[in-house]
Amino acid sequence: EAGVTQFPSHSVIEKGQTVTLRCDPISGHDNLYWYRRVMGKEIKFLLHFVKESKQDESGMPNNRFLAERTGGTYSTLKVQPAELEDSGVYFCASSQVVNTEAFFGQGTRLTVV
């Protein structure tokens, strides 16, 4: 069974550009989460999807970040326009039922220069 897959693994973009990160959860997992770790800080929650609906987006830092999960399968996280402070590692996780074991992807390392 495939795990959580994230693409790309690395992305280097210039300030002001747009980047889209993708996450494919484990098949059958209705719950999908985005987290990120910025330099020197703990991993922080961004948002939670249940199927295609946003259950909780309280961790989204500002309106430059847009997450979608059309059809309740894969999810994208778009940053537009990217700023230097957006640099970090973005993780996606999925779980079959809310409040059960979460499985994480390998992360996307985003560098904004």
Partner 1 sequence: KQEVTQIPAALSVPEGENLVLNCSFTDSAIYNLQWFRQDPGKGLTSLLLIQSSQREQTSGRLNASLDKSSGRSTLYIAASQPGDSATYLCAVRGGRNAGNMLTFGGGTRLMVKP
Residue numbers at the binding site for partner 1 (CB under 8 A): 4, 6, 33, 35, 42-45, 48, 55-56, 58-59, 91, 93, 98-107
Least separation in angstroms between residue 78's CB and partner 1 is 21
Residue (1 or 101) nearer to partner 1, CB: 101
Nearest C-alpha neighbor of 34 from the set 76, 81, 87, 83: 76
Least Cβ distance, residue 10 to partner 1 (angstroms): 10
Toward partner 1, which CB reaches closer, 58 or 63?
58
Residues in the chain: 113
